[in-house]
Structure 1
């Protein structure tokens, strides 16, 4: 008897869509970093640094940001319900956390945090989210319109599955983009319709540019179904003006497009002359109701002052979809049975935190303000450092958790990158990592305008790390420029 010795599956025989997309925040630079990390472990002292500093992801707690005490107390109690009723718990937990945990546990199936829930999420937790949205926006929100999700990423993927029917369906996305969007569109068989943000005007969105992209794509035979907007921006860090948001709302209403509003950095706004406004709030303020415009907004427990990335919690609020479509979304969400309960609890706490008069309010506010003020301080230090480097310019930091500096590299550096078969920003990022142990993301992974080189750098939550990283960065860049200046 003979046997087929050909491998059952190879890189050439897997789903071709998986091979096409890239995700640079966890791409080749990170793989390089993991190799260096192993080298440090196996041969201490063999490299010019003793640790890797990961600035590739918004991963606050891994980099030193402290969690919010109230959130952790409630989570602990929900995972251990008998503690709520023990006398010694009063010495360990705040009365506010005990009260909230008791209320949450009583709403869980079987009063246990390890049980399946509704595929849409626990009703009482969706009510907390809806109430939080209503308080934030000044317009009503309904728990029926809320889907609790395993972070914003799973919600975004779900909506792409709902919207994309074939390669003839297009989704408008900003460039630079967060590569989750381009990857998700590719995986679900659609076509990305890019529109450029303008770096020279602080990464602003020009509505005439979006109109041009829409018209060109329709002329090529595409059916454009939705427009992605990321506010505050990732990777670019800008905060949209209310005027810009109003233009987008009017444009999408006129053209019949769904607004996919990525609002996960809504608690990361650091400029005095701007504030976060949800797209739903802007639409309602313009007088457009549920029947006149479709908006799906996404939020997450991962960023903000909370930084609970590993909990994988989030929500999407769906406005302007018919009951028949909502039934199909529920069916699709049901394939994963339900979102994890820790994430559901956390997003409810974030949208309904302690309020004035609650016992935990003062501690909660002090922790929140300390984290936010420290982030502003660290962002300013890193922004100043980048702008002090020869041939580097960085737009003002307004929101989110990243800087996206522009690199003006010498011709010899560009030539050296070409000889190695990589883009200049990839070349620079590899050299930076090898010399300093600092991991950044090449800007080409976010698909900016061709011909420009950027890097995306996460603002570290640890001031000591920033102070340690800046001299490394400055020394490397000076040596790099001297080597390739010619």
Structure 2
């Protein structure tokens, strides 16, 4: 027994010693592996998805960060040759000083704080609308989730709006609400992507295009197939350019869709019926899905050129088109006259899309749980505004008309003003909220742009921001003619803001144009 006991004790001590050594060694190994893991995951980009890692950040984002930095410096008392930064680079009307629509804000206020209904602070029609909207929310609260593709009540309102607009039936189940129209576009593009196949999917994309669109396509692993818009024709779509783009890129990718912006972003072109028919015919011949951004459909101000939806034209072309062309159109709260960009809600309508595919749309949208409810309710207000008999109708109509009038007058005035500056040519806009002037680059810009990865339009915008406190958007490269440079100017801003911003731009531009010294080179080296 003693022997067994001693032997057992010795074996136990030995086992404990061995175990302790193993644990110590294991801790070292685990510690080393954890360190290596953290180093790989936290201190480098090697572990990041290659598609995400390779996304080229828009130059406008860098300039917006610089504008924020300059604003913080001014607030801290740093002396600048200007008192504030004026941002006319992107479509954020409320940021620039445009006022929100009273009816929209009153209804949302009542939905967020129903106690307002008891105090009789709101017009009767607003109170009635608040009660109806709260009834369709689970728990009568905007704090509840909704179906991934949106509240059915709102989808029904959107379908009724489309039907009134086009005179063609629309189904609520073909409408999908998302956190902005770009989110809806991302869903569709990701479904189009080829995945692991060697030949990537291609999407025909206008040049110029919305500045965020290349990032959306790149994120999805989809190739951008550029088709050149015709500047001298007011940035119209040329069918020959569509054929050229398809022929040029077909070997390197599998084109599956064509993207169109109508009214054009950032060109301001509004397509007529003939142009839309030509694009639809091209899509039919080449078996392409039509992706149509119609976000600025309420901002057409060119006399004699009304907005016509692609769906309306498609169904008026006859059954051979209306029953076979796959079309997805997009709209958003960021629409010009409402301008509720921060509420983050938009929608897409699917036409002639396979029901199984639409089910996948819903599945992918589930990854966001649901679009913010306040944004969904604002969509309902956008597509179903006050009736003439409602108490809010007069104020609503006056405010919307004022916004449209401001946009139209700004477009005309800014177009004439920019064209009077040396070396700038600007096509007139027929709709939308941007002008897209072309810069004839002075020699200083050409010299400085020889720096790696720095384009002349970016240098122009950065120096304008630093010297005059005005932020405009770089226009991006023209792949067909790399000598062309453009800037992007938002015109949906208060008239006094636009006049101040363009006066500063003109002062900078004249200095740049007239100055034969190399002040820009010294500035940016």
Which of 255, 264, 267 does residue 233 from structure 1 map onto? Answer: 264
Superposition deviation, residue 484 in structure 1: 4.0
Partner residue of 1:108? 137
1:163 CA drift (Å): 1.4
CA contact (8 A) 2:314 2:322 kept: no
Could you say which structure has the larger radius of gyration? 2
Q: Which residue pairs with 2:307 in the alignment?
A: 276
- Closer, same or farther: CA 332–419 of 1 in aligned 2, 3 Å: closer
Structure 1: how far apart are the matches of 2:136 and 2:451? 62
Partner of 1:31: 65
Matches within 5 A, 1:69-84: 69-84=102-117
Spell out, residue by residue over 1:305-360, the C-alpha distance to the aligned partner (whole angstroms, 9 max, x if none): 11100000111001111211111111111121111111111111111111222222
How does 1:245-324 map onto structure 2 within 5 Å? 245-288=276-319, 291-324=323-356
Change (3 A) 1:165 1:483: same
The alpha-carbon deviation at position 20 of structure 1 amounts to: 2.9
| Partner residue in 1 for 2:274 | 243
| Alpha-carbon distance in 2 for matches of 1:106, 1:124 | 10
> 1:380 matched to which residue of 2?
412
**1:21 equivalent in structure 2:** 55
C-alpha distance in 2 between matches for 1:414 and 1:112: 58
2:40·2:46 contact (CA, 8 Å) conserved in 1? no
1:411 corresponds in structure 2 to 443
Structure 1 residue 446: Cα displacement:
8.0
RMSD: 1.9
TM-score, normalised to structure 2, is 0.87
Q: CA deviation at 1:409?
A: 1.4
Counterpart for residue 431 of structure 1: 463
Measured in 2, the distance between the counterparts of 1:294 and 1:215 equals 22
Corresponding position of 2:150: 121
1:353 corresponds to: 385
For 2:386 and 2:162, the matched residues in 1 are separated by 15
Deviation at 1:449, TM superposition (A): 4.2
Is 2:225 aligned against 1:193? yes
User: Per chain length, whose mean CA-contact separation is higher, i.e. which structure has more relative contact order (CA < 8 Å, sep 6+)?
Assistant: 1
Q: Deviations over 1:161-215 (max 9, x none)?
A: 1111235211111111213322122111121111111112111110121022223
Judge which range, 464-473 or 292-301, deviates more: 464-473
Alignment of 1:308-347 (within 5 A): 308-347=340-379
Of stretches 380-389 and 3-12 in structure 1, the one that deviates more from structure 2 is 3-12
Count of residues in Structure 1 that have an aligned counterpart in Structure 2:
480
Moved more, 3-12 or 419-428: 3-12
* Bigger shift: residues 404-413 or 257-266: 404-413
Match of 2:174 among 145, 150, 153: 145
Partner Cα separation in structure 1 for residue 341 and residue 478 of structure 2: 21
| Compared CA separation, residues 461 and 257, structure 1 to 2 (3 A) | same
When residues 445 and 37 of structure 1 are mapped into structure 2, their CA distance, relative to the original with a 3 A threshold, is farther
Greater CA drift, 208-217 or 150-159? 208-217
Counterparts of 1:424 and 1:165 in 2: how far apart (Å)?
A: 35
CA distance in 2, matches of 1:215, 1:200: 24
List gaps (5 residues or longer) in structure 2. Answer: 1-27, 519-525
